[in-house]
Amino acid sequence: MTDDRTKPIGVLLIDDEIAYVNVLSNRLSKRGFDVGKANSGSEAFQILRQRSFDVAVLDLKMADMDGIEVLKILKKMAPEIVVIMLSGHGSAKATHDAIRHGAYDYLTKPYELDELIKKIVDAYENRPTL
């Protein structure tokens, strides 16, 4: 997906469910997003050292590192990145923690792809300019 420039929105997917990340990556790529994939927090940090992204879609529960911890590090590494948290275990506390630590928005699994795309575009259009 692109705005009035020709550069597509860069989206980094971070989730330890490999099949889910691959399917979501394909679906977003077909809709014009420039997608990067990471299956752990540490892999996401390595990818961010190599290139930048506009939006990160980050799972709350992962094997190697809690999503809130990943969020904190992402915001230090790339303050300009806008983060949307995903969880299959939605709770008011998790939502509050994510927003308090810099997440732009929060989405509970399962969700409709169009809903995620709308959140990504909204996040991109409302990202801070540093």
CA distance 13 to 64: 15
| Mean pLDDT of successive 10-residue stretches along the chain, which has 130 residues | 69 96 98 97 96 96 90 95 86 81 90 96 86
CA distance 56 to 12: 5
Give pLDDT, residue 1.
Answer: 52
Determine contact, residues 41/69, Cβ cutoff 8 Å: yes
Give pLDDT, residue 124.
Answer: 96
Determine contact, residues 81/55, Cβ cutoff 8 Å: yes
